[in-house]
């Protein structure tokens, strides 16, 4: 179930339903969304557009040992 910052559901009658900070899943009859308000199913879906912000460039990579290597490709020997 992916998390996205913005999800737009375009319906067959060209109306749009927009969500922010939402989890969603596509299923055979449409799209199912989970927000803080609960779950909602849309079955009259023409298309969806989902956007997720990229992490800030000043965020540093931290490996599974909690260390911050010089670059994301470097690793520490144990």
pLDDT tens-digit map of 1-54: 888 999 999 999 999 999 998 999 998 889 999 988 889 999 999 999 998 886
Q: What is the pTM of this model?
A: 0.63
Residue 45, pLDDT score: 92
Q: Edge to edge, what strands does the sheet with 45-51 contain?
A: 38-42, 30-35, 16-27, 3-11, 45-51
């Amino acid at each position: 179930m992916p998390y996205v910052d913005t999800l737009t559901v375009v319906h067959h009658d060209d109306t749009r339903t927009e969500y922010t900070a939402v989890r969603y899943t596509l299923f055979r009859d449409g799209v199912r969304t989970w927000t803080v308000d609960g779950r909602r199913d849309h079955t009259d879906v023409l298309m969806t557009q989902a956007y997720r912000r990229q992490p800030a460039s000043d965020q540093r990579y931290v490996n599974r040992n909690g260390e911050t290597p010089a670059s994301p490709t470097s690793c520490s020997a144990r």
